[in-house]
Every structure is written in C-alpha cells, then in structure tokens.
Amino acid sequence: MAAIHERSAAQLSAAYASGELSPVQVARALLDRIDAWEPRINAMYRVQRDAALAAAAASEARWRAGRALSPLDGVPVTIKENISTRGDPAPIGTRANEDAPPQSADAPAAARVREAGCVILGKTTMPDFGMLSSGLSSLHGITRNPWNLERNPSGSSSGAGAAAVAGYAPLHLGTDIGGSVRLPATHCGIFALKPSLGRVPVNPPYMGRVVGPMTRTVADAALLMKVITRPDARDFMSLPYREEQYEVSEINPKRLRIGFLPDMGVGLSVQPEVRAAAEAAATALASAGCAVDTVRSFLTEEMLDGMCRFFEARSYHDLMNLSAGKRAKVLPFVAEWCSWRAAKFSGRDVMAAYTLVMAMREAAVAASQACDFILSPTSPILAYEAELPAPGNDPRDALPHIAFTVPYNMSEQPAASLNWTYSADGLPIGVQVIGKRYDDVGVLKLCALMETLRPAQRAYPS
C-alpha cells in the first residue's frame, strides 16, 4: 500500500470517504515529511502546524458526520508565499519586505481552497519579486531540487515545485507570469497548468499573471481547478464563471491536430536531451493517431527582448518605490537586472517594448490557429546550478530560457508542463502542451492521455 506522502488527492479523498485514513492522520504524516526534508531543500517559508492540525480535525469531524465540504475536504495543500493568506505576511521573496505585515484576507485561490476544506500546511518559497526562474531569494535563501540537491528547482514557484517532489502535499498553488509554474514543473518532474488568463481569479490581477495548480498527476490538477476557478469579484480581469467538467475524461487522439514546435529559434539553444524528449513525445502522439506536423517558430529576438524590457521597466518601477534602505536589501542580481537599462528608459522606450509584447501575443495566437494544440519543450535546458539566480548568471541577460513559456502568458492561452522522461544524469525533462485560448479542459485531457503514452516514470526521491 502506498505511503501517505505518495497518495494523490483523489486517493486521499477516497480514503477519507471509506474511513481508511483520516485528515488528522494525513496532516501529521505530511508535517513529519516536511520536517524530514526541509533541512535539505528549504521549500517552505512558513509551516503552520497548529493551524493545519486544527483544520484537519475539523475536516475529520465533517467526514464522520457525512458533511464534507467538497471532495478535497481534508486534503493538504501548500500555497506560494505571494498568494495572500489571512494572518500571514507576503514579502514576495525579498528581504526588502522582511517587515511585511500579516495579510488581512485570503487571496481568491487561497479563499477557495479554504472554503473547500483543504488543509493548508504552509507557504512555499519564491525568489525576489517573483522575477527569477530560480530558487534563490534574498529572504528565503536557496531552495534546492530534491532530485539533485546541487540543481535548481527553477521558479518563481520554486518552493512549490520542490515541495511537490518531496511529497509535502498532493496539491500546491503557484503563480506564473512568464513560466513560473511550468519551469519548476519541467525541472522537478511534476505537472503544472498555467490556466487561461482570468480562468482562476487573482488579486491583484495583472497582464499575464495567473495562479495555477502544481501536482504529481493531471487528475489532481483537474480537481484543484474545479475549486479555484470559482468566481471572485476582486479580479476585474477574470473571465465569466462557467461550471466546467474539469474531471479528466478521454480525448480521441485520432481527431487531434498537433503542431510540434521543437525550437523557438531565440533565447538559449535547446539541449540535445531536451529536444530528444520533445521529439519522443511527438512520436508517441503520432503513434496514438494524432496528426502531428512540425511548425516554425513565431517568436523573434525583437519580441523576446521587448518582453524583457517591459519586465525590467515594471520591476524598476517597483524597485524605485522602495526606500533606499529597502532597495539595498534586494538581491543584487535582481536590482542590476531591472536597473541597468530601465533606469534610462523614456516613456517612448516603454511603449515600444509594450508594442513588441502585443506583437508577440498576436503571433502566438495566430500560430495556434491551424492546430488543436501545440507541443514543445517547456525549457530549452536541464536544471541548472542551485546557487545561481539564472542560467548563465548574467543580470544583463537574465531571461533567455523563457522563450517557450512567456509567449503564452501574454497570449492568455492555457499551457501545461508534463514530465516526459529523464536525462542521463537522472534529471526530469518535461514537455509543454498549449491549447487555444480558454481550452483549459482540452489541455488537461490531452495531458492525461500523454500520461498513458510516456515512458515509465521513476519513483520520486524518498
């Protein structure tokens, strides 16, 4: 029988319903798991032992009375530090905000999981301002990849990715504005969905920013989506709420047209093992009956640089809103990254960058029209060194590895990363599935099919 930390959310829910397991029993086991792994990987900002056990006891009473709030009642979850939870500070990964006050209210996704009865075990780590694809933070220190402690879990949902691998909980909430749930997913060997913009309410909303599930299985992500997509008026960019059947069901591969995008042609070159994994996934889909055709990149160097300049301008604005004393506490890499040219930007420069972002959005949507889904690598590279803030460690070229992910934040399309295989050194390699705007359910269905087609998966680190 699987150990508690190996069980999916769906399996825990069934065990609660049958009486095989109780929420308190599960919460205690997973808190012990956190205690065992945390000195090695540093994935948690706050562990809420007492509150978690109290929530688990309340859930246990509801299950015994036949009044569970949802199928996820009593199922443990972690929440990324920048997703506000009532009573907890949200310093956004930086020592500049080490004195951040407790939040007065739950953010929408946190409110929804609490309403569903989930047991919140704590908050996960992230890098400064969420603007690094790394586990390095001036506040939290270094979060490490459980597959290899010398490797980076990527980010910015770094703690969530590492926690999922280590078995802290079956459910994790991350955020993504350029790849921040998908990049940890590929480097940590898990599943993550970046929903369509507005599908999951966010507060505060922003162009490209989403909250998404990070799990070991597609089915668990679907269960979580059913909860966190419920409406919240605080998100003025949210989509009209629609009751979706997120539960994973079969999809007919013989009716699917897949565009295979093996290389963006900009940013970092695709490493051979990453390319081979993506090609193997494309071959598996073709063998299952999908019509798979290779498609050319729509992204230009100018578009990617425009996106980078826009991010720099945004973060420089945030940096300059801090006092001089607080600015000095920001990770030096981040401070240089957002200042080296943005400090000299004119209004015209910023609008030129924004125009290129919109051109990237238009190109991404147009490139998706001829097929049902796009398949690509998630990241061009394998997990890099744990101590580095970015691949290459160059603050003046900090984001060359997000070319496969960031376009779909701006185009508002759903995109997921699913682990496919492993490198010769045992590092996970994921592939990305992109759907048309608003087809989150379709992306989940295709990823569930791919779970059945991929090579045998390795056991998670014990």
DSSP letter at 330 equals: S
Dig out the tokens for 260 from the structure: 């295979």
Residue tagged active-site, from 134, 137, 154, 180: 180
- What is the rounded CA–CA span in Å between residue 360 and residue 178? 13
Q: Quick one: which H or E segment has residue 319? A: helix 301-320
Between helix 9-18 and helix 49-65 the angle, nearest 10°, is 50
Catalytic residue list contains 8: no
- Least Cα distance to 224 among 379, 410, 416 occurs for 416
Question: Using the 8-state DSSP alphabet, how is residue 82 labeled?
Answer: T
Structural contact between residues 178 and 406, judged by C-beta atoms closer than 8 angstroms? yes
Say how far apart CA 261 and CA 269 lie, in whole Å. 13
CB-CB contact of 193 with 444 (8 Å) = yes
Are the C-beta atoms of 275 and 431 separated by less than 8 Å? no
**Annotated catalytic residue within 137, 154, 156, 158:** 156
Tokens of 300: 């230009």
Cα(260)–Cα(44) distance, rounded to whole angstroms?
A: 37
Tokens at 59, concatenated: 């859930």
119-124, strands of its sheet edge to edge: 44-47, 119-124, 76-80, 171-176, 210-215, 191-194, 415-422, 428-435, 373-377, 257-260, 291-294
The Cα–Cα gap between 260 and 285 comes to: 10
Q: What are phi and psi of 58, to 5 degrees?
A: -65, -40
Task: Give the span between the Cα atoms of 191 and 148, in whole angstroms.
Answer: 18
CA proximity to 157, closest of 178, 175, 170: 175
**Cβ-contact 298, 366 below 8 angstroms:** yes
Task: Centre a 10 Å sphere on the Cβ of residue 305 and count the other Cβ atoms it contains.
Answer: 15
Largest CA distance in the chain: 64
To the query of whether residue 123 is one of the catalytic residues in this protein, the response is no
| Known catalytic membership, residue 226 | no
Pairwise CA distance, residues 43 & 373, whole Å: 33
Marked catalytic residue, from 22, 59, 80, 137: 80
Whether the ω angle into residue 231 lies within 30 degrees of 0, i.e. cis, is: no
Of 155, 131, 128, nearest in space to 144 by CA: 155
CB 107 within 8 A of CB 203: yes
Residues identified as active-site: 80, 156, 180
